[in-house]
Amino acid sequence: MFTIPLGLVFEMPIVIYFLSRVGLVSPGLMKKSRKMAFVVILLVSAIITPTTDAITLLIVTIPLYGLYELSIVVSARAEKHYLKSNIED
């Protein structure tokens, strides 16, 4: 019950990379949405975790927020590559 949802969520940087390459997501948008993303990450963590204690919630929330921050970096690089390829065309 715990492995599959976390495995899907850990694909977030890859999904963000492709969305940034297409131009649907930008790092600026993700930076502006940090507060909302943190709330959503807390909600997802609360749904994914099988217990109700705060430590388990934090054990899931911290890596997910780290992945969100990593996704911002990945999005910036993908957007840079996207803009570079459009300028060359």
CA of residue 71 relative to chain centroid, distance: 5
Domain ranges within the chain, ordered by starting residue: 26-88
Nearest to 84 by CA among 12, 27, 76: 76
Q: pLDDT tens across 21-77, in order?
A: 887 888 899 999 999 999 999 998 888 887 778 888 898 899 999 999 999 999 898
**Can you give the pTM of this predicted structure?**
0.81
Contact indicator for 69, 17 with CB cutoff of 8 Å: no
